[in-house]
Amino acid sequence: MKRILLMTTVLLCNLAAAQTIISTKNTSLVIDAAQGKEPLFLYYGARLEDGDLSSLRAAGFQELPVYPALNTNGAHPEALCVRMPDGNLTTDLRTSSIEESTWEGGKIYSISCKDPVYPLEVKIYYKTYEAEDIISTWTEIRNAAKKKKDEIVLTRFDSGSLPIRRGDVWVMSFGGGWADETEAFCQPLGLGVRSVYNRDGVRNSHKAHSEVMISLDGKPREDSGRVIGAALCYSGNYELRFETGDTRRMSMHRFYAGIDPTHSAYTLAKGESFTTPELALSWSSEGLGGVSRNFHRWGRKWKLTHGGQVNDILLNSWEGVYFDINEEGMHSMIRDIADMGGELFVMDDGWFGDKYPRLNDHTSLGDWVVDRNKLPHGIEGLAEEARRNGIKFGIWIEPEMTNVGSELFEKHPDWVINAPKRELVTGRGGGQLVLDLSNPAVQDYVFGVFDGIMTACPEIAYVKWDANMQIYSQGSGYLKNQEHLYIEYHRGLAKVLDRIRAKYPNVSIQACAGGGGRVNWGILPWFDEFWTSDNTDALQRTYIQWNTSYFFPAEAMAAHIGASPNHTTGREIPLKFRIDVAMSARLGLELQPSAMTEDEKAHCKAAISDYKKIRDVVQLGDLYRIVSPLDGKGICTKLYATPEKDRAVFFWYSTEYFQGKQVPAALFAGLDPERRYRITELDVFGKPLSCDGKTFSGRFLMETGLNIPAKNYQGGPHRDYASHVLYLTAE
């Protein structure tokens, strides 16, 4: 995990009119936190000059509470709702002190507030990531009671809120379902309440995402306009909501983000504190693309476990063999990916189980012992075979789950999540259950699964960590307060992952959760990447990966070359198109090489070689989305450039084909207009484009562009799947 280094702390004593200015390189957030009064929000946007700071009130900005709580005013929706020891539901937060700390990436501010009557203390934190133009916020809520019996119950406890000036404000949110993750939904923000939430319990990004883009200048544009991006960094249930009241009283929208409080009221005993997740905010005048690049830089530097490092090119066994694991077959796949120039082989589900061999998804989870009938020489034998072939070895696990048909469940039926005294509710085809990670004994067990596998085979370089089921029946045999389950589950998961990363800091781990169920910044600090979707159909992946890129960099986005016909959609797509789509993110393979022709293997080998030339630009560079597949133009284009703009990679895909249809000129973005770039087409199949080997100025490419024909040189039934990858090097 990325670690925080606190360096100095200063107490800000002049609180009579304490205007706190929280700034990054290009943005400012201003709060008035006068002593003895409720802290008020004044401004968030472009970085302010000193003269403008002193005139904020004169500009007519409405002052609203920074962290509104239910009080006797009743004019504002609440970010905090509590039930006091005597049953009182109102809260009065008044500033008592402000502290400023520095850390290696910026500053941390804390505004301490107290209720003058009840033993409630709230600290509101703001943390700057100065170079990345990110400001995050969270709160620490404490029961300062002196008597043991005086409990405080939190019934809503958001991480933060943000007032947004009324106007032509649009919101882009993301959601979908299994194999159709990360659809984009964009609409103007009007009166009333708009909510985005998750109540899965385990995973949180299949049906909705905990990130939104807020455009202040009408329908959002890619490269211009004022946009705010917000991402709640939490792995569990959440709610994002916009509330807009009567126009006569409110000139502002209010945005709130935090843990979803549904069935999760949290009781604080005397002396206990509750810390909410981090809510990350970014503002840019460069449209959606500017906010995306801020989040990408922030994520690579401060969130991803091994952020800033390129990935190994892998072959994963799942779509190649599913549960049909055997030693000979694994050896064959190891040799195949090594021959094609890959660097890692990952054995997926189906390798374990003794009393209950893992032949399908109905049994065996929890029994993490090698099935010696399938693998006589164990995992160690496969790791040895990988080493002989000059590549690394990885493995799949699903340690948060078990099956009714397992030795683990027979031994510990009390370890599963299910409502007390109710019939057992299972999922995923019947028989699958979620382990209760609120229980320290279960935490020890789950850590032991990872630790035991790594101890038996220290050469494992990569672990695919899956989670294929939600919580259907809320209940814990360990917790006394059942309303704490959803929160304590994720606290327990965090404890396990902390232990794993402390002991195994160098192992690469993928966050898979029935596909794209854990695409969020709350889980990624322990992981290197996420599985973007179980849908490897390259055409649909152009859409999924495009929308995922609004908040997540290519370095985190696993994109594998699947088979044709595709295993999810049945669509037949030529190999070149499948390769070119996977090359735009974290390239891997998800197929059976023995089913490929020798020409197809040679094609993959050449493409892998090409990808090695550009993967640092794709995974670590700045992304410029140019033509969206959703725009109806029949193409999708995007470009990655190094921060120095000396190298770039341009991707062009035809997303539909109509006889005689003219596609628009291919305009580039993110280049230096004064430099000349030599273009080399990669993954060439047949005749290269006429621009191959030629040089053009950055200005010409961005203002005039290239004419790229919507023609697939593989011909036949696949002429609607044209694609090109152009590598640009400055001269």
State yes or no: pLDDT of 667 exceeds 60: yes
Query: Can you name the residues that pair with 445 across neighbouring β-strands?
Result: none
**Residue 139 token pair:** 């709160």
Helix, coil or strand: residue 156: strand
Helix, coil or strand: residue 411: helix
CB 533 within 8 A of CB 515: yes
Listed residue (571, 603, 607, 568) closest to 587, CA to CA: 607
CB 692 within 8 A of CB 728: no
State yes or no: pLDDT of 716 exceeds 60: no
Q: What is the pLDDT of residue 3?
A: 39
Helix, coil or strand: residue 580: helix
Contacting residues for 257 by C-beta, under 8 A, at least 6 apart: 158, 159, 160, 161, 210, 230, 232, 238, 239, 240, 241, 279
Q: What is the pLDDT of residue 110?
A: 98
State yes or no: pLDDT of 608 exceeds 60: yes
CB 654 within 8 A of CB 721: yes
Listed residue (479, 659, 655) closest to 580, CA to CA: 655
Q: What is the pLDDT of residue 662?
A: 77
Residue 513: DSSP 8-state: B
Whole-number Å distance between alpha carbons of 37 and 33: 7
247 pLDDT band (50/70/90 cuts)?
Answer: low
Q: Model confidence over 87-130: pLDDT tens digits? A: 999 999 999 999 999 999 999 999 999 999 999 999 999 999 99
Whole-number Å distance between alpha carbons of 509 and 348: 13
Residue 462's φ and ψ, nearest 5 degrees, are -150, 135
CB 134 within 8 A of CB 176: no
CB 112 within 8 A of CB 139: no
Alpha carbon separation from 62 to 30, 40, 41, 252 (Å, rounded): 13, 10, 9, 8
Whole-number Å distance between alpha carbons of 508 and 226: 37
Q: Model confidence over 1-46: pLDDT tens digits? A: 443 333 334 444 343 356 899 999 999 999 999 999 999 999 999 9
**In a domain? residue 719:** yes
Listed residue (240, 234, 244, 214) closest to 226, CA to CA: 214
Question: Residue 110 is inside which H or E element, if any?
Answer: strand 106-114
CB 261 within 8 A of CB 217: no
Query: Tokens 């509101």, residue?
Result: 124
CB 334 within 8 A of CB 379: no
Exposed/middle/buried for residue 224 (C-beta within 10 Å: 0-12, 13-18, 19+): middle
DSSP string for 265-310? -EEEPTT-EEEPPEEEEEEESBHHHHHHHHHHHHIIIIISTTTT-P
Pairing of strands 64-65, 695-697: unpaired
CATH of the domain at 725: 2.60.40.1180
HSE toward the beta carbon, residue 565, CA cutoff 13 A:
6
Q: Is the dihedral of CA 365, 368, 373, 377 positive or negative?
A: positive
**In a domain? residue 348:** no
Whole-number Å distance between alpha carbons of 378 and 629: 45
Chosen domain end from 250, 274, 303: 303
Helix, coil or strand: residue 203: coil
State yes or no: pLDDT of 715 exceeds 80: no
Domain that holds residue 635: 624-730
Residue with more model confidence, 627 or 662: 627
What is the pLDDT averaged over residues 225-233? 98
**Residue 330 token pair:** 């694994």
* CA quadruple 319, 320, 325, 328: dihedral, nearest 10: -170
**Residue 464 token pair:** 């695919």
**In a domain? residue 397:** no
**In a domain? residue 382:** no
Chain-centre distance of CA 455, in angstroms?
Answer: 30
Q: Model confidence over 561-587: pLDDT tens digits? A: 999 999 999 999 999 999 999 999 999
CATH of the domain at 89: 2.70.98.60
**Residue 205 token pair:** 């990004």
Question: Which parts of 306-406 fold into alpha helices (H)?
Answer: 318-321, 327-339, 378-388
Chain-centre distance of CA 593, in angstroms?
Answer: 30
Q: How many structural domains compose the chain?
A: 2
Whole-number Å distance between alpha carbons of 703 and 436: 57
CB 582 within 8 A of CB 548: no
What is the pLDDT averaged over residues 659-684? 93
State yes or no: pLDDT of 378 exceeds 60: yes
- Name the average pLDDT for the chain: 94
Q: What is the pLDDT of residue 328?
A: 98
Task: List the single range of 246-250, 264-268, 362-366, 663-667 with lowest mean pLDDT.
Answer: 246-250
Residue 510's φ and ψ, nearest 5 degrees, are -100, 135
Pairing of strands 278-284, 134-143: antiparallel
Considering only the C-alpha atoms of the chain, give the largest distance between any 2 of them, rounded to a whole number of Å.
81
Whole-number Å distance between alpha carbons of 496 and 493: 5
Listed residue (470, 366, 466) closest to 418, CA to CA: 470
State yes or no: pLDDT of 713 exceeds 80: no
**Residue 181 token pair:** 């993750």
**Residue 256 token pair:** 């709130």
**Residue 209 token pair:** 């995402």
Q: What is the pLDDT of residue 661?
A: 73
**∠ CA 696-702-703, rounded to 5°:** 100
CB 436 within 8 A of CB 417: yes
**Residue 358 token pair:** 């893992």
Chosen domain end from 256, 277, 303: 303
Pairing of strands 392-397, 266-268: unpaired
* CA quadruple 43, 48, 54, 55: dihedral, nearest 10: -70
Whole-number Å distance between alpha carbons of 43 and 54: 12
Q: Model confidence over 147-158: pLDDT tens digits? A: 999 999 999 999
Helix, coil or strand: residue 663: coil
Whole-number Å distance between alpha carbons of 308 and 318: 28
Query: Can you name the residues that pair with 275 across neighbouring β-strands?
Result: 140
Model pTM above 0.85: yes
656 pLDDT band (50/70/90 cuts)?
Answer: confident
Pairing of strands 676-682, 695-697: antiparallel
Chosen domain end from 303, 332, 367: 303
**∠ CA 272-195-71, rounded to 5°:** 50
719 pLDDT band (50/70/90 cuts)?
Answer: low
